[in-house]
Structure formats: C-alpha cells, structure tokens
A = this chain, B = another copy of it.
Amino acid sequence: MLKIEHIGIAVKDMAASIPLFEKLLNSPHYKTELVEREKVNTAFFQSGDTKIELLESADPQGVIAKFIEKKGEGLHHIAFEVADIEAEMKRLKEEGFTLLNDKPLPGADNKMVCFLHPKETNGVLIELCMERKRET
C-alpha cells in the first residue's frame, strides 16, 4: 500500500457535480472517462498527491445507482496504490480479507484494480490499484 491513490464519490448528476467540486476544490477537473465494464462515468480532480474521482452510474442497474439507492450520494471507496497488485492480493487473502475479484481487472485511469469486500473492513469499500502496463 504505497499511498491513497484516489477517493471515489458517488453522485447522481455528474453535470451538476463537476462544477460543484470545481468550486469546492478551487481547481478544475482534468479528465472524464466512461468505464465500460462497470457502466460508470468518472471525472477526476487532483488534490495534492491524491485524486478525487466522481462516479455517476451510466446504467440505472449499475453498482453506483444501486449504492445511491441504498445509501444516498457520498463517499464510495478508497483506492490504494500498490507496487505489485497480485502480491498485495495474495497478502490480503492470507490475512483473511475477501477479494471481490480473483484477478486484477481493468479500471478507470489506466489502472488494474481489485476490490475488497467491505464486510471485513468496517464497511469501507477498498480498492487496490496499479498502473497498467502499456501494450508494446
């Protein structure tokens, strides 16, 4: 776990939330991206060494739509950057944590990602992420 890479925030209306967070952070967002696999629209803000990732469901049945239905808008997950995602997944599994995916999956922002089940982390959804190697 090298550092907190980003914090994910579930929002209902990205078009309204982007200018809101720009006012809050006093800084523009630097990119938006649709994560096809998860049906999620994302927008990123830099804050020091960490990012804020806004998440809006691109599908009424998507994970973010379901999260908002259950818990309302707000803090959704913390993502930690790791040096070796497979080694970190192995270590955490051995420590008794439950991984939500067995293999790293492609995530937003050119990352390979893995999530941990929040039941074992005080209700906090934890993401591990590692920069994806560029295809050569």
Q: Is the pair A92, B126 in contact by a Cβ cutoff of 8 Å?
A: no
Chain B contacts for A122, CB-based, 8 A? 9-12, 17, 20, 54, 73-74
Q: Is the pair B75, A3 in contact by a Cβ cutoff of 8 Å?
A: no
Which A22-45 residues have a C-beta within 8 angstroms of B? 23-27
Q: How large is the interface on A (under 10, 10 to 19, 20 to 34, 35 or more residues)?
A: 35 or more
Q: Is the pair A123, B74 in contact by a Cβ cutoff of 8 Å?
A: yes
Q: Is the pair B91, A48 in contact by a Cβ cutoff of 8 Å?
A: no
Chain A residues close to B by CB (< 8 Å): 1-4, 7, 9-12, 17, 20, 23-27, 47-50, 52, 54, 71-78, 80-81, 91-92, 95-97, 116, 118, 120-124, 126
